[in-house]
Amino acid sequence: MEKLKQTLRDSAGMRWSMMLLVSLLMAANYYFYDALSPLKSILQEHLNFSSQDYGIVAGFYAFPNTFLLMAILGGIILDKLGIRPTGSLFAVFMVIGAFFTAYGATDYFNGGGIGYAFLNSFWTGYSPGLKMMALGMLIFGLGAETSIVVISKILVKWFKGYEIALAFAINLGIARVGTALAFNFSPRLVFPDFWTFPIWFGVMLLVIGFISFLIYTMFDVKIDRQQQSRSSLLDEEEKFKLADLGKLFTNRSFLFITFLCVTFYAAVFPFLKYAPDFFYHKFGISRESSGDIASLLPYGTVIFTPLFGWFVDKKGKSASLMIYGSLLLVIIHLLFALTKFNPYVLMVLLGIAFSLVPAAMWPSVAKIVPEYRIGTAYGTMFSLQNLGLFAVPILAGYVLDVTNPGVTPEAIETGAKLVYTPTILMFVGFGILGFLFALLLKWDDKTSGYGLELPSNATAAKEESLM
């Protein structure tokens, strides 16, 4: 086959520069998603939220991607329209949603500001502040998940055949710096006369991330022009069709990795939503220190995810790593629920588990699904994943309220403590399901021939030999 003309993606410096640009938007996304976690008690104090109210705000992030299937539709839009229009549109949704969330928490809005009377005219059992913040998280979530799908396709576009697992891993590591900073900064950015500042700070970071994405689009235009000759060589049958969505749901490996994604993340992200409050009540740790402990998980992933991504590129064993990570997650949640084992150590171990599975899982999708269908595939995974991200925080808040009758926000202020054991055991159950799906994925890989246990470069060489 005649050697194709080199493009921007053939330069290692350009590949990694593009990864850093889009990772800024991803980090801002993760920061805002977790900015409320260390503020749970602050929201209860200033807005009179119950645990379930807090769970509703957190859970509504996933509403559009769970019930409106927006991540799937976003993936289809991405495959049909391309990276630039799709990414720009959904990044704007993130900024708008974040603004509404922050606005709903302000004293101005809750004192009768713009929109208050309207939101107070229906569902009066819920406060206007709760409804505005939930609406904001809904719009933010609508943009955030599809933006992650866009960034995933960008990484496949620039790194397939190169260091794809390492690129996904470093991208996730940078994103989780955003999560870690949210746990570190949010409780420290609360000022007596401006307690909503940490939420507004997240809005500002999203604006910066959006600008970085716009800078990326200039390079995306150039590489598309360079690859135009390649694109013209695509067979008509390789262009995305709506019927391709059905093909995904008949692919057993794709279904197993998707269900692993749903159950594994349901046991981690919703737990993080409650982790600072959990450490405060079970271990008697201050709210600031509780946020610091929770931040050990994302900080740990900054180190471990790239390490495991490098391992996947060089040695393979993706399916095995997903099994080990899922099993470790179950053990850690059991220790959290049933013992008072050092929470610092457990959060570091949870960071390892949370590095093993994603470092192996996300690049594995590029082995299972053709590139022209990759946006729809990631969109489907994120949409189903959001089923857990929507329902589980609300369910956790409900379990917490039911198993702690009489422990009101007023009682907590006087020293009462919440019992978290049943709630953490619920996370154990999701972890067990994830472990079972990881086992099924490895079993299916033996007959599917996708090569999940092979190094990334070995799979790329196999694909080239078939061209």
Domain enclosing residue 197, as ranges: 12-223+235-465
Going by the DSSP 8-state scheme, the letter that residue 191 receives in this structure is B
What are 94-138's pLDDT values in tens digits?
999 999 999 988 888 888 889 888 888 888 778 888 899 999 999
Q: What is the CATH number of the domain that holds 53?
A: 1.20.1250.20
In a domain, 308, yes or no: yes
Asked whether residue 29 is assigned to any structural domain, the reply reads yes
Question: Read out DSSP for 408-465?
Answer: -HHHHHTT-----HHHHHHHHHHHHHHHHHHHHHHHHHHHH---TTS-HHHHHHHHHH
Determine the Cα angle at 465 with ends 461 and 467, to 5°. 120
- Among 258, 405, 424, smallest CA distance to 330 is for 424
Write out pLDDT tens, residues 293-328: 887 887 788 888 888 888 988 888 899 999 999 999
Task: Decide: 165 and 363 in contact? Cβ < 8 Å.
Answer: yes
| CB of 357 closer than 8 Å to CB of 264 | yes
Give residues with Cβ within 8 angstroms of 265, minimum separation 6. 385, 388, 389
Contacts of 324 (CB under 8 A, 6+ apart): 356
pTM: 0.72
Contact 280, 286 (CB under 8 A): yes
Domain contains 229: no
Residue 3 lies in a domain: no
Residue-level pLDDT at 92: 94
In a domain, 279, yes or no: yes
Query: Which residue positions in the chain have pLDDT lower than 70?
Result: 1-5, 66, 227-245, 407-410, 412-414, 457-467
Output the CA–CA distances (angstroms, integers) from residue 66 to 55, 60, 430, in the order listed.
16, 10, 18
Which pair of tokens denotes residue 464? 């080239």
- Sign (positive or negative) of CA dihedral 64, 66, 68, 73: positive
Give me the number of domains the chain comprises.
Answer: 1
In a domain, 4, yes or no: no
Evaluate whether residue 230 is within a structural domain. Answer: no
For residue 2, being part of any structural domain is answered with: no
Q: What is the DSSP letter of 249?
A: T
SS3 for 94-137 is HHHHHHHHHHHHCHHHHCCCCCHHHHCCCCCCCCHHHHHHHHHH
- Over its C-alpha atoms, the chain yields an Rg (Å, rounded) of 22
